[in-house]
Amino acid sequence: MNELDYARIVASRRQAEDTSGLHFSVWVGESDEESHAHAERLHAALPDPGRSVYVLCNVRLRTLEVVTGSAARRTLTDEECVLATTSMKTLAAEGNVSEALVSGLEHLGTYALD
């Protein structure tokens, strides 16, 4: 895996927020917890989970998860999340996690336009 480019990831997260009006959070790390349950737990702990999108990348398990809140689901469909996740998985499989997250955030922000 390449070094993470935190500045690009943060910039893409902010751009997704500006574009969509939703709150985006990103977690990259290693956990033994099942990825979807971990993502849902972290998403639920956010200040405004209903208007939030949580992107989790578990590098140990090689998984990506996107969790959306109830209000976020009104503008960001499950199908759009699958499309974004598919593109992220392709880039991450090549070892470029930063590029995967940047691309995924850009797609999610665009798909979720208010």
pLDDT band at 62 (very low <50, low <70, confident <90, very high): confident
Total count of residues recorded for the chain: 114
Parent domain of 67: 6-111
Is the pLDDT reported for residue 1 higher than 70?
Answer: no
Cα separation, 44 vs 99, whole angstroms: 26
Q: What is the mean pLDDT of residues 80-98?
A: 92
Q: Are strands 23-29 and 52-58 parallel, antiparallel or unpaired?
A: parallel
Confidence (pTM): 0.93
Tell whether 65 is covered by a domain: yes
CATH, residue 86: 3.10.310.50
CB-based burial, 2-12: b 16+ in 10 Å, e otherwise: eeebeeebeeb
pLDDT band at 113 (very low <50, low <70, confident <90, very high): confident
Q: How many domains does the structure of the chain reveal?
A: 1
Q: What is the mean pLDDT of residues 19-44?
A: 95
Is the pLDDT reported for residue 73 higher than 60?
Answer: yes
Tell whether 1 is covered by a domain: no
Cα torsion 17, 82, 75, 55: sign: negative
And the tokens for 98?
């930063």
